[in-house]
A and B are shown apart, each in its own frame.
Chain A
């Protein structure tokens, strides 16, 4: 009864949609009215704006799907109130909602940075702040999801040690591989500290020592937390009692694992974007669209999982 009472006091998650659309409006207007600088593919202004739209629409759709999945998750968490699994699911829902808003907010910040003249002091400082804020923001997302996954794991009496060890070993190996790839791409980037053309090559505007301690180390710690969160969800899903519940929860764990993995891969890809400069527009767009589709699919799977879990509480 206590749980039900607390659940009824929970705020309506639909308010997140309002905040999302306000921020999205700012992002869309900021992008459309941003001064056009640089023209790598020698396109007309109209073609550039149309190209922006073909990217803004699918990217904004993935942000919306993140918030949509988060709201669905939140509704489910509210429904089961203060039960132990409800608290855990609430942390996961907060992580997903934060991911949606952080993705939108960091992009909004980048749009604002693009209004500055490249390579000026203001531009450089904003770029540095943008990179540091990006790391902090994703740290918040991964910590929330990790905390939720730990709470779920505590609901299992004794997880199968073989699954536990194997999953964590795979997660650790993947983190090491991703870390090595990220460090290699970061420190082989000729323009990491400064760039002669900020429109063509992104730069961190930091010395190697700062890059190592302020960007690489925190990012790797955050990824390690994220990979352990994914491992926790997989171990929970494999060990939790309830054959039907396990099937339904699998959608959530698969979706969350997909979303977090793609996010990490995208972080690495942004550091090797210099290699994409030489590629044709068509291949760059195909590459981006594939990533966007897989990322969006993760959120759709999560939303479906949250819906199916809610169904258990309704029948």
Chain B
């Protein structure tokens, strides 16, 4: 179940960071949440969204894109970690 959530985060991130998404998500989870990507659960999503927003903000100046990215990750929490159609 946790692995599925991680995959969903990677799927969302792929819409922004393409082939670098998996590495990006793994890095955010292991460095900022101090846990393995497989053990990611929905309670971690707000913190992960915060760090991911901050990180994407360092790569692009497009504020709307950064906000959309954060909302897309948070939407997984609202959906209870279930698979949903991602925007962007």
**A interface residues, Cβ below 8 angstroms from B:** 80, 83-85, 155, 240-249, 308-309, 311-313, 315
Contacts and interface: CB of A to CB of B under 8 A. Distances in A.
A315 B88 CA distance: 21
Contacts of A83: 19, 23
A90 to B, nearest CB: 14
Given A242-B15, A243-B88, A244-B17, A80 B65 contact: no
Contacts of B17: 242, 244-245, 312
Contact of A243 (B16, B19, B27, B58): B16
A313 B23 contact: yes
B16 A245 contact: yes
Nearest to A249: B18
Given A245-B17, A248-B59, A249-B18, 12 more contacts: A80-B20, A83-B19, A83-B23, A85-B19, A240-B18, A244-B56, A245-B19, A308-B59, A311-B58, A311-B59, A312-B17, A312-B59
Interface in B25-56: 27, 54-56
Nearest to A311: B59
Contact of B20 (A243, A247, A312): A312
Interface string B66-88: 00000000000000000000001
A309 B20 CA distance: 9
A241 B58 CA distance: 19
Given A311-B58, A312-B59, A315-B58, A241 B14 contact: yes
Nearest to A312: B20
A244 B16 contact: yes
Interface residues of B, number: 20
Contacts, number: 60
Most buried by A among B16, B18, B55, B88: B18
19 contacts: A80-B20, A240-B19, A241-B19, A242-B15, A242-B18, A242-B19, A243-B88, A244-B16, A244-B56, A244-B62, A245-B17, A245-B19, A309-B20, A312-B20, A313-B24, A315-B24, A315-B55, A315-B58, A315-B59
Interface of B: 14-21, 23-24, 27, 54-56, 58-60, 62, 65, 88
A25 to B, nearest CB: 39
A282 B86 CA distance: 59
Contacts of B14: 241-242
Most buried by A among B14, B19, B58, B62: B19
Contact of B18 (A80, A241, A311): A241
A178 B18 CA distance: 35
Contacts of A248: 59
A243 B59 contact: no
A247 B23 contact: no
Contacts of B15: 241-243
A246 B24 CA distance: 16
B67 to A, nearest CB: 13
A243 to B, nearest CB: 6
